[in-house]
Amino acid sequence: MIWQKPVQAGTFYPIDWSRMSDKKKIHQLGFWLTIAIFYALLFFHFGVRINPALIFRNQEPVFFTTLRFFHPFAGYAGGLSEYAAAFLSQFFIFRWIGTFVLIALIGGTQALTVYLFSSVTEHKSFRYASFVPAVLLAVMLSHYDFPLATAVGFLVTLNFSGHILRMKNWPFIPLVPILAGMTAFAYYLIAGPYLIFVAISALAIWSARDKSILQKGIMSAVLIVVGFGFPWLLNPALGVMPLDTSYLRWIPRSIPFAWPVVSEMLIGFIILWSVGLFILSQLGKSRISSFARIWTAWPLVLVRALAVIGLAILILTTTLNETAKSRLTIRQYARQRNWDGVLEEIRQHPNVDAISSFHMHRAMYHTGRLGDDMFRYPQNFGIDGLIPLKEDVLFYATEAANFWFEMAHFNEAEHWAHEALTQQGANPWILRRLAEINAIKGNRSMLQSWTTLLDQTLLQRKWADPFKAQLADPTPLKDQPAIKQARAQWIDSDFLIHLNLPEMDFVSLYRRNPENHMAYEYLMAYYLLARQVGWFVNEIEAMRNFPYSRLPMHWEEALLIYMVETKSTDPVFAGFPISVESIQRFNDYQQILTKYGGNRKSAHEELRRKYGGTYWYYLMYSKSNIRMDTGEGVDAFTGATR
Amino acid sequence: MQNNLRAVISPIILICIGLCLSCTGPVEMPRLASLTPLADQPILHPDYTDITLPPNIAPLNFVIENPGEAYFVEISGELGSLIRISSRKPEIRIPLKSWKTLLESNQGKDIRMDMCVKSKTGEWKRLTPVINHVSEDSIDPILVYRRLHPMYYLWQNMGLYQRNLETFSETTLITNNQIEHSCFNCHTFVQNRSETMMMHFRAGQVSGLYVKDGDRHLKINTATDFNKPAAYPSYHPDGKRIAFSINNLGMFFHATGDTREVIDMMSDLVIYDVDKNQITTDIQISHPDYLETFPAWSPDGRALYFCRTNKLTDYTAGSDKDPQLQYNNVRYDLIRIGYNPETGEWGKLETVLSSGECGQSITIPRISPDGHFALVCMADHGNFPVYVRTSDIGMVDLETGYWWKPDINSAQSESYHNWSSTGRWIVFSSKRGTGQLARPHFAHVDKNGQTGKPFVMPQEDPAFYDSFLETYNLPELLTGPVELNAREMIRTMYDNEHIVQATLDSAVTHRNDLAEARTGWYILPY
């Protein structure tokens, strides 16, 4: 057996322009120009349109710098690629650094594809094909749910594949254990994407020179045994669980990418193209050269360059899910407490879901506009858009924790923060919230635990500083000024939390603490959305506890309805008169209705145009759901009254 | 080029190594004899002071919280050689081998820990020495527990682990990411032996009761016309019968104080006979007027202990309030009933300790191996002590009925507890410190039921618990490791074609209310 020097990858050699013909120079220039335009377009696509910060907001992978955090990742197949992905994803919170990481992953995939193909044949004319995996990966990365571990897996598998092809002519004895080891290691590192390596290894075995059929057969058997036996060994549930729990882990097949079956296309293309190149290389040098001559002919080169740029433009125009982006943007702004941003985003994309609507109401409360503007914004979900029930909010537990924290309902905030911790892992936002809650509750020991963990994060260590200062202060937590201020909002008598009737919590909170403005405003908003004008009026006197200078506009609109229904003539509530302007608008609204003979359907369009942002219009035309249990004045379970 | 690079890098590496060595080099040891102990008490974290420890426990690594620039610890006993540890950091890690030798040599004697702290001026200060007692009673070497995040409504990751208490080795028996994140709980063994075990799987395709009986693996559906799937198991000493309760548990939440609470709205006891594959019960343990729960067999198998309270509507008789609102008035009594294992006949029911007498709700009885004592949870109300901060460990003398709360409790919840096979050690879950995360604690118990000061399960990293967010659940002491083949267990639980359907004893009358009662958790509307 003769040791053969592995085939070298010409692609990675420095380009020697001086030895090139003019035609080749133009080809090289064309290729690099295509690369430059392609990646510039992708940079724009990911940086401006996709925004990696929103990918992070959607997935929020947890990462700590400790060995204890690393340890479990080393314990299962694909864990290490998940660990690497979790590390890389942390940089997504910075939009442009995140974009750079994404581009590097795509570029790395393309470079390693070139490396792989150059391991099959030395001919460089087919390198344009390397754009295909790059394009497909870019499509996948454009989806906010795409797991970065898959992209890391592709990089590793391409690298391993290139190496095994270059080692194929090594002597039989060292090659067999190397093949077995690399197969097992590839699976352990990256799980599902290792299938590319297995396929390329099969190609390497059967294209190897100086190996007998018996040797090739043995190597194939080793590949099959290790390639399919090792995952079986590692996964005790294999055989009773679906295949994707091990063989296909990290190959995302359930994500609805903008282009169909992209992950399968990527894997299939790499394998088939490698096989095709190999077959072509077997036809003889003259045949492959003549094929290459056609392939590199001027018009085809131009077509290929234009096709690549065209694909990049296609990515730009087809892969962004505007609705998903808008909803993530709203969640992102809400986290940043950029309330104006939330409302602006909703103005631009009014097709909101219940959680966006939930943030919309938060934004309106925090900007002091809830009573004046809530019906000017989409109200398609009624009370479910004000405060979703537990089943709906389950996947937004962090947001629920934040909401209840803002309302000084600290036990409920703690409850939801723990749900979020269970569901999403210990991300820094949850840790910070739990630290705040435990500081307020005076639990020094738990505050210490959350602070320690915050201090072990990669990029949010500084968030631990204020808590460290609180812990270092010998003053009891409850007596420290900032904590004391927060505790002042906390109620001192218990009630049972009603997960299905959150308005009962609003009632309980503000009756126990008449200074809880948020609970009061939310209760009033709830009654308006639930069309319970009578209960709304019952609570109107309490507005004297808060610094209102006038009746909010929607409140005036509700009170005018109440006056009509009760035939009341006194337009003063809680010491505030209903404005003349509102009375005039109400009269106008009624006149329009009268004009159409009281026919709501006929009057709809004109009323929508002139009064679509009023409570009157909401009452008359909104089809939002009303919960069945909002009709009772006394709650059967807690005995609480509205 | 390469040589130049090497020339630049080599000195840098050497400087780095030099710097590292200068930072981490050995600390000079003080001359202990020349230092007079100060009145300053050492502050150890975890608190391993004045305790009685088993002769086979892993090193009790700790952090010295007294401020200092360097630390020195000398551990000595009447026999055996000294252990000396010096460190620039306050974390003290005791070498395993020397520690084991020291404990083995000093069984029944005291060991002494002398500690010195170096001040900023370079002066060594000697702290008051710590004296711990090494018991002659070994502790069972294996502790099996479930670990999970504090659970509210959701669960995600949980695992069943066994820890070798003689070392720091922890091995995984099963994690739920192997079974699509389904829930499992209530791992139970026969009298501290690991050969026979059972546990419940609660969701998805794997739902059912898993029983490992030697080499046999069974998946059993214990639901019958009488009952839904069962909970809170207790193995009869013969390993062939399991007592269960059937519960209707609901979780609800508070606005202040403890966040969570659980109420049981209906419960009864049943017995599952593994060989006959039959569920049976008796009116005395499943009476419609009472809620019976938490069964526990006596070590001779001739009595069944359990907890019982009146049905919830009794708490609101004459009132229009929802009975569940009386959750804070619900208290359980400790009951005993005789049992003839040969005939399966039940004896007379008697109250061992009533809640009225002790003013506490008594739950989770665990009988000592000699049958003399019952270890119970005692809380001001309720049936779910792990969520109630008033829950303490109580001891009941089963011969005299005398009860007391041993000095092992804290202001936070003490709950799930068990005895070692010898009855000389107990393990229990305590939320002391955090109030949220349960940690296994051990305490020595003498033949009169008197306990030593408890201590938390030692970890190699003495600061381990400070940032470990999982809670330890149902610690069970075993005399040997569990030989569990996870693959076999998972295969068994996924194999619904061969699930064993329990039959109902023909002598048992069907009860609609029980058969329809939900089992396990759900969230109450408030």
* E-only strand ranges, B165-206: 170-175, 184-190, 193-201
Beta strands B110-118 and B455-456, pairing class: unpaired
Instruction: Please compute the mean of the pLDDT values over residues A210-219 and round it to a whole number.
Output: 93
Pair B338, B450 in one domain: yes
Type of residue at A375: F
Q: How far apart are CA B331 and CA B312, in angstroms?
A: 10
Question: Would B19 be classed as within a structural domain?
Answer: no
Say yes or no to pLDDT of B335 above 90. Answer: yes
Type of residue at B186: C
B487 — contact with chain A (CB < 8 Å)?
yes
Which residues of A are less than 8 Å from B150 in CB distance?
Answer: 418
DSSP for A554-572, written as a single string: HHHHHHHHHHHHHT----E
Which residues of B are less than 8 Å from A500 in CB distance?
Answer: 525
Tens of pLDDT, residue by residue over A511-533, are: 899 999 999 999 999 999 999 99
Give the other-Cβ count within 10 Å of A535's Cβ. Answer: 19
B346 — contact with chain A (CB < 8 Å)?
no
Question: Would B292 be classed as within a structural domain?
Answer: yes
B150 — contact with chain A (CB < 8 Å)?
yes
Pair B306, B412 in one domain: yes
A381 vs B520 pLDDT, higher one: A381
Pair B195, B73 in one domain: no
Which residues of A are less than 8 Å from B497 in CB distance?
Answer: none
Return left, alpha or beta for A389; rule: phi > 0 is left, psi -120 to 50 is alpha, else beta: beta
Cβ–Cβ under 8 Å, residues A175 and A66: no
Question: Min CA distance, A630 vs chain B (Å)?
Answer: 14
Q: How far apart are CA B347 and CA B350, in angstroms?
A: 10
Pair B114, B249 in one domain: no
Which residue on chain B is closest to A444 by alpha carbon? B434
Q: How confident is the model at residue A626 (pLDDT cuts 50, 70, 90)?
A: low
**Domain termination site, one of B100, B134, B168:** B134
B497 — contact with chain A (CB < 8 Å)?
no
Q: How far apart are CA B449 and CA B446, in angstroms?
A: 5
Provide ipTM, 2 decimals. 0.88
pLDDT of residue A455: 96
Question: Min CA distance, B178 vs chain A (Å)?
Answer: 6
Of A567, A550, A568, A614, whose CA–CA distance to A588 is shortest? A614
Pair B306, B417 in one domain: yes
Identity of the highest mean pLDDT range in A251-260, A398-407, A617-626: A398-407
pLDDT of residue A635: 46
Structural domains of chain A, ranges and CATH numbers in brackets: 37-318 (no CATH), 323-487 (1.25.40)
Helix or strand holding residue A358 (H, E):
helix A354-366
Question: Would B189 be classed as within a structural domain?
Answer: yes
Q: Which of B22-36, B317-331, B433-447 has the lowest mean pLDDT?
A: B22-36
Q: How far apart are CA A244 and CA A192, in angstroms?
A: 8
A240 — contact with chain B (CB < 8 Å)?
yes
User: What's B336's domain CATH number?
Assistant: 2.120.10.30
Q: Is A95 helix (H, G, I), strand (E, B) or coil?
A: helix
Tens of pLDDT, residue by residue over A570-600, are: 889 999 999 999 999 999 999 999 999 999 9
Say yes or no to pLDDT of A639 above 70. Answer: no
pLDDT of residue B30: 80
- What's the CA angle centered on A470, arms A466 and A471, to 5 degrees? 115
What residues does B456 pair with on adjacent strands? B441
Pair B350, B398 in one domain: yes
Pair B352, B450 in one domain: yes
Say yes or no to pLDDT of B215 above 70. Answer: yes
**Domain termination site, one of B134, B150, B182:** B134
Tens of pLDDT, residue by residue over B286-322, are: 999 999 999 999 999 999 999 999 998 888 776 666 6
Pair B128, B164 in one domain: no
Of A460, A411, A418, whose CA–CA distance to A437 is shortest? A411
Instruction: Please compute the mean of the pLDDT values over residues A286-307 and round it to a whole number.
Output: 75
Cβ–Cβ under 8 Å, residues B97 and B78: no
Q: Which of B154, B456, B485 to mutate to test the interface with A (most CBs of A within 10 A)?
A: B154
Helix or strand holding residue A302 (H, E):
helix A298-318
Which residues of B are less than 8 Å from A394 in CB distance?
Answer: 153-154
Say yes or no to pLDDT of B25 above 90. Answer: no
Q: Please answer yes or no on whether B156 and A423 come within 8 Å at the CB atom.
A: yes
Q: Which of A8-17, A608-617, B169-178, B202-211 has the lowest mean pLDDT?
A: A8-17
Q: Measured between CB atoms, which of B177, B321, B525 is closest to A639?
A: B321
Instruction: Please compute the mean of the pLDDT values over residues A544-559 and round it to a whole number.
Output: 96
User: Average pLDDT of chain A?
Assistant: 89
pLDDT of residue B118: 92
Chain Cα centroid distance, residue A395: 12
Cβ–Cβ under 8 Å, residues B175 and B158: yes
Question: Min CA distance, A528 vs chain B (Å)?
Answer: 23
Of B32, B46, B66, B50, whose CA–CA distance to B112 is shortest? B50
A213 — contact with chain B (CB < 8 Å)?
no
Which residues of B are less than 8 Å from A60 in CB distance?
Answer: none
Q: How confident is the model at residue B151 (pLDDT cuts 50, 70, 90)?
A: confident
User: Average pLDDT of chain B?
Assistant: 89
Q: Please answer yes or no on whether B525 and A498 come within 8 Å at the CB atom.
A: yes
Burial of A330-352, coded b for 16+ CB within 10 Å and e otherwise, reads bbbbbeeebbebbbebbeebeeb
Pair B222, B318 in one domain: yes
Question: Would B3 be classed as within a structural domain?
Answer: no
Pair B107, B245 in one domain: no
Q: How far apart are CA A161 and CA B502, in angstroms?
A: 54
Q: Please answer yes or no on whether A445 and B435 come within 8 Å at the CB atom.
A: yes
Q: Please answer yes or no on whether A497 and B254 come within 8 Å at the CB atom.
A: yes
Range of the domain at B91: 32-134
Can you give the three-state secondary structure of B339-352, one letter per residue? EECCCCEEEEEEEE
**Domain termination site, one of B82, B104, B134:** B134
Instruction: Please compute the mean of the pLDDT values over residues B12-26 and round it to a whole number.
Output: 50
Say yes or no to pLDDT of A56 above 90. Answer: yes
Pair B228, B111 in one domain: no
Of B267, B291, B262, whose CA–CA distance to B379 is shortest? B262
Q: Measured between CB atoms, which of A411, A449, A490 is closest to B469?
A: A449
pLDDT of residue B515: 57
Measure the N-to-C terminal CA separation of chain B; round to a whole number of Å.
75
Tens of pLDDT, residue by residue over B360-414, are: 999 999 999 999 999 999 999 999 999 999 999 999 999 999 999 999 999 999 9
Q: Please answer yes or no on whether A492 and B256 come within 8 Å at the CB atom.
A: yes
Task: Count the residues in chain B.
Answer: 526
Q: Please answer yes or no on whether B253 and A500 come within 8 Å at the CB atom.
A: no
Question: Would B355 be classed as within a structural domain?
Answer: yes
Question: Would B399 be classed as within a structural domain?
Answer: yes
A569 — contact with chain B (CB < 8 Å)?
no
Which residue on chain B is closest to A492 by alpha carbon? B256
Question: Would B475 be classed as within a structural domain?
Answer: yes
Question: Would B7 be classed as within a structural domain?
Answer: no
Q: What share of chain B is helix, strand, coil (3-state, %, to 5)?
A: 15, 40, 45
Which residues of A are less than 8 Å from B252 in CB distance?
Answer: 496-497
User: What's B73's domain CATH number?
Assistant: 2.60.40.10
Number of domain units in chain B: 2
pLDDT of residue A6: 42
B65 — contact with chain A (CB < 8 Å)?
no
Instruction: Please compute the mean of the pLDDT values over residues A471-493 and round it to a whole number.
Output: 92
Pair B231, B277 in one domain: yes
